[in-house]
Structure 1
């Protein structure tokens, strides 16, 4: 079966393309390469098509003959252009959905835990109100709504997954996203202080990329659908200070830390309630954080160029 992965040259996308190929699928990666890296697909038998997800004619052509579409393409969370966020995240999602509807393809669409906003309620369950605090998060919620509307209006088989704190190999430290771990790891390897924005007691649900990729591939393989979005995280809260402690242990030395003011538009805590996820994927078994950190450190050690903005 032909599977299209939008954002296929991105961090999660490249890892997913590899897994889908290993499972025997013909994979087409759609990416505009604004943040994706074509070299991350080297060695994979993948068909890379370069273009914008917001260009319906392009998307329709790429999706022709596809039985499944995994929609990962989106602007990075640090974007400060609401117009561009809307074009890519909302109009782009509409393009994907319409192309999939015409092909009768199953759609797995990635969303973000940012749609919940800064609610103090933890863990975050799918039934709680979504109150995004940034235009970027609002665009992700709008995209979710389109997926659900296409399901109810046209019977499009679909699954929306809200991703929590994904990290791992191929995650670039220079992207303006919530890439706390690669920034920390690169700073530690270069023996520079880690800059923490806040007091370090803020927490995240850190999910290793192999965990996410496994669920995405299983969703494609099982044509899994849901009438509402489903959280995809580890279900475990880890503070920034705890992350630094784990890195210190892994590297065998105490890591120096500089503290800076916390951003005003970032949630202080975000942990997934994964009850619905486990119901859909009974064999769900997230990679332990310590093992994922070890893999991420190994990958960063192999990187020899570039500079690292150290922020969290």
Structure 2
């Protein structure tokens, strides 16, 4: 049996890595990517079999056309930034919450299986660690609220309409194809980019805040397995490494990978940032027993290797 898979936001960071892996599978007959290219790039798909459709998930007629006859949809399209959501709450809501609703409506009409990306940001300022899926959601940012709506809609469509769905809460995903050249860049690409250019690493706050950094290969392995087996869950599922790393520890790990000391510049803390984050992965391991997370040192080495390969002479930045 071969399947047609649609990836919304597939020209972006996680989507491009997913399309690379799907392209290697003979049981995947067609990969269609819907992306508005606001943060993704067609170049990210050049080594894949994916067909790019340039457009927005807010476009109902285009969604209907793209999702037609799809067996599965991996919904990754989003404005993936806490800071961006604080700068533009309505725009963030429109793409992340309303956009998810429109994707689900298109999938409901087609009968497609849906995997939707949520975020650890839904946990907000919960002090309990590791964070398990039964914890009350307490988002600190509009982005966290958007993602809570994303997963709630996804699970509600399963309950209301009998759809096959899975909502995954991603924790601090990093790796190849993650952009570093904008104001809302995530911490690892920002650190790697600065380190390779010989600039100080900007640490917001004291650097003792913790994150559960998850290499993109781990996330992609979960997504591929979910799609091929049509894994479902009535509750959200954390996707993470299961470790707790401070930003200062991250700097030391990156320094070890590069083989040289790195300078740090401390900036003021950012609004909406969570102090500590670590995932409980018990539910993930029950649903995906064959998935083994990639360690931070290995993930950082692969990330640095990719950045070094893709540095451009024009801007000095990765694509």
Specify if TM > 0.5: yes
Tell me the CA shift for residue 91 of structure 1: 1.3
Q: Classify 1:119/1:178 alpha carbon distance in 2 versus 1 (closer, same or farther; 3 Å).
A: farther
Q: Deviations over 1:76-113 (max 9, x none)?
A: 21212121112111111111111111111110000010
What is the rounded CA distance, in whole Å, between the counterparts of 1:192 and 1:266 in structure 2?
23
1:10 paired residue among 12, 36, 41: 12
**Structure 1 residues 290-299 or 253-262, which shifts more?**
253-262
1:33 paired residue among 28, 37, 61: 37
Tell me the CA shift for residue 174 of structure 1: 2.1
Q: Does 1:96 align with 2:103?
A: yes
2:63 equivalent in structure 1: 59
Tell me the CA shift for residue 39 of structure 1: 0.6
SS at match of 1:186: helix
1:82 equivalent in structure 2: 89
What is the rounded CA distance, in whole Å, between the counterparts of 2:80 and 2:222 in structure 1?
22
**Structure 1 residues 247-256 or 159-168, which shifts more?**
247-256
2:252 equivalent in structure 1: 245
Tell me the CA shift for residue 72 of structure 1: 0.2
What is the rounded CA distance, in whole Å, between the counterparts of 2:23 and 2:141 in structure 1?
36
2:172 equivalent in structure 1: 165
2:112 paired residue among 102, 105, 123: 105
1:220 paired residue among 224, 227, 230: 227
Q: Kindly indicate whether the alpha-carbon contact (under 8 Å) linking 1:76 and 1:176 is maintained by their aligned counterparts in 2.
A: no
Q: Unmatched 5+ residue regions in structure 1?
A: none
Tell me the CA shift for residue 211 of structure 1: 0.5
SS at match of 1:128: coil
Q: Deviations over 1:25-80 (max 9, x none)?
A: 11001100011111100132111001110111111110000000000000121212
Q: Unmatched 5+ residue regions in structure 2?
A: none
TM-score under structure 2 length normalisation:
0.94
2:315 equivalent in structure 1: 306
What is the rounded CA distance, in whole Å, between the counterparts of 2:282 and 2:155 in structure 1?
20
What is the rounded CA distance, in whole Å, between the counterparts of 2:232 and 2:203 in structure 1?
39
Residue-pair matches, total? 308
What is the rounded CA distance, in whole Å, between the counterparts of 2:136 and 2:274 in structure 1?
15
Q: Deviations over 1:162-184 (max 9, x none)?
A: 00010001101124446111111
What is the rounded CA distance, in whole Å, between the counterparts of 2:7 and 2:189 in structure 1?
24
Cα RMSD, aligned residues only: 1.2
What is the rounded CA distance, in whole Å, between the counterparts of 1:306 and 1:72 in structure 2?
28
SS at match of 1:270: coil
> How is 1:107-186 mapped onto 2 (pairs within 5 angstroms)?
107-177=114-184, 179-186=186-193
> How is 1:250-289 mapped onto 2 (pairs within 5 angstroms)?
250-289=257-296
What is the rounded CA distance, in whole Å, between the counterparts of 2:261 and 2:130 in structure 1?
31
What is the rounded CA distance, in whole Å, between the counterparts of 1:180 and 1:196 in structure 2?
9
Q: Deviations over 1:116-160 (max 9, x none)?
A: 111111111100010111112111111211111100000000000
Q: Classify 1:212/1:85 alpha carbon distance in 2 versus 1 (closer, same or farther; 3 Å).
A: same
